[in-house]
Structure 1
């Protein structure tokens, strides 16, 4: 690559295409459009004068040249990510931008009042909110902090368990008026259910209780929790929702309190190198204190 005016974005796109095997998968993972990724791959191939991918009906097939370059490209990305983490961690000011990764349902309902209080307590901090149900990669600085329902396994990440979210069986008053209120768990078999699509945790729960899963009636199946919650509010069926959602929505009622649903943990995670940053530490500590209060409805 002598005398090449090198564009770092080309390496990022190359690695994404290599990992996911298609422009569609790479675009979904990176947030970069498919046409842009395609241009990046074509430009990198032109600069290197190498064919990196064979275009097939099933996506992209890496050539031996691509596989040969993969390790060096990954090392470049790891080095750039470490450089970014160290640079962010070196600051000792409470002014700046912080990328926070949360799920859709947390971003829409739990987090906004917390961000109002953070704005008052840390007025010079700007939050860049990464809203995704996939786990953002803190190691590569896709986010600085993350609120997640799973504990990260990487040793270079610092995770603190800051709360838990009970799940409740619930339905809107309008649905219950039309269809009656189930009083015992087996009666759910006669009701329309709002559940996941690829996520089959609800069906697995019914199976564990000995209910015939094939006989379940579905009002809606979707893995989007915002869509599930909207469907429950609209009266489409019985849902299994985060408890804090019901507090502000009197038209949705908890039912069947004898059913014990899983309690979801909430983990606040940061890369350990960022804990040396006064800015990151301040935001981490604020969220660690405020999220449990919000879950317990201590702010009213």
Structure 2
């Protein structure tokens, strides 16, 4: 089929790009907020428009055909240009009403953001909020979020970041588990303890050793990739786990493991794209989040 650039459907091109990067229709559909059949139809329509096959099945996933691989760099360039156009257009908006997308870790989204969002909605009922609770760092340039709550200072020059405070974390466990350990008083008393690790076990062990505790793999029998599941396991007595003082001290089923030890201190940053910071809606939400988060410390 003969075709021109003006005939290309951007939704179909975006579907191709998302599937190429995700490696499967199901993952790409989740990323785009579409159903898998809808995404599959968009891919099939683009293949008919271009007259080429774009994907081949490989096990449960998809791999690019050689032709699609040659097209991918051009499609990525189109995607980046579309993202910059959307950012620039949003940045020109001075309306407060409209959608805002905030990304934060599961723990922050579940334990910190709800009262802040309730306050935001009461003050600005015209703003609708989408919270992306994920432990993955969102790509703000590609509009995965408008504002991010992070625990590290971003280095990208396109981003605006404000440190709004510091949080304090500690190890927690149930009273029964602490009794079994003999009520430890220092890190050296935890050589027989078992931990519930969030994230990769090797990363957790490295982090413990940075604190001066030589944890072995045998001491980490449970590992999860969800903050919420991690905390439930700790509350059920599966081992020692870490949380912020605000969450841990408020939970009646657990106690501080080392009450006299210094807490683990980490920063709280709010991040947005420099062009989005010219949007009145984003600026209002950004400032409200900054004030609320700083008051909670």
Shift of 1:55: 2.3
Structure 1 pair 60/215, CA: closer, same or farther in 2 (3 Å)?
closer
In structure 2, C-alpha distance between the alignment counterparts of 1:102 and 1:36, rounded to whole Å = 28
Unaligned runs of 5+ in 1: none
* Counterpart position of 2:267: 265
* Counterpart position of 2:119: 117
In structure 2, C-alpha distance between the alignment counterparts of 1:248 and 1:93, rounded to whole Å = 39
In structure 2, C-alpha distance between the alignment counterparts of 1:29 and 1:265, rounded to whole Å = 28
Shift of 1:210: 5.9
Residue from 74, 77, 81 that aligns with 1:75: 77
In structure 1, C-alpha distance between the alignment counterparts of 2:27 and 2:94, rounded to whole Å = 38
- Please give the per-residue CA displacement for 1:35-85, whole angstroms capped at 9, x wherever unaligned: 444333222112211012232237333233213322332222222222222
* Counterpart position of 1:213: 216
User: What does residue range 164-203 of structure 1 map to in structure 2 within 5 Å?
Assistant: 164-177=166-179, 179-198=181-200, 200-203=202-205
Q: Give the CA RMSD over aligned residues.
A: 2.6
Q: Matched residue of 1:94: which SS?
A: coil
TM-score scaled by structure 1? 0.87
Q: Matched residue of 2:100: which SS?
A: strand
In structure 2, C-alpha distance between the alignment counterparts of 1:280 and 1:87, rounded to whole Å = 13
Judge conservation of contact 1:190–1:217 (CA < 8 Å) in 2. no
In structure 2, C-alpha distance between the alignment counterparts of 1:261 and 1:39, rounded to whole Å = 53
Shift of 1:98: 0.9
In structure 2, C-alpha distance between the alignment counterparts of 1:57 and 1:95, rounded to whole Å = 46
Judge conservation of contact 2:249–2:255 (CA < 8 Å) in 1. no
> Is residue 2:236 matched to residue 1:234?
yes
Shift of 1:205: 3.1
Instruction: Identify which range, 74-83 or 34-43, moves more after superposition.
Output: 34-43
User: What does residue range 21-60 of structure 1 map to in structure 2 within 5 Å?
Assistant: 21-23=23-25, 25-27=27-29, 29-57=31-59, 59-60=61-62
Instruction: Identify which range, 24-33 or 140-149, moves more after superposition.
Output: 24-33
In structure 1, C-alpha distance between the alignment counterparts of 2:202 and 2:262, rounded to whole Å = 17
In structure 1, C-alpha distance between the alignment counterparts of 2:137 and 2:279, rounded to whole Å = 23
Judge conservation of contact 1:194–1:228 (CA < 8 Å) in 2. yes
Shift of 1:146: 0.9
Structure 1 pair 290/3, CA: closer, same or farther in 2 (3 Å)?
closer
* Counterpart position of 1:222: 224
Structure 1 pair 32/154, CA: closer, same or farther in 2 (3 Å)?
farther
Shift of 1:221: 1.3
Structure 1 pair 262/38, CA: closer, same or farther in 2 (3 Å)?
farther
Judge conservation of contact 2:54–2:65 (CA < 8 Å) in 1. yes
Unaligned runs of 5+ in 2: none
Q: Matched residue of 2:112: which SS?
A: helix
In structure 1, C-alpha distance between the alignment counterparts of 2:191 and 2:180, rounded to whole Å = 16
In structure 2, C-alpha distance between the alignment counterparts of 1:199 and 1:263, rounded to whole Å = 21
Structure 1 pair 264/27, CA: closer, same or farther in 2 (3 Å)?
farther
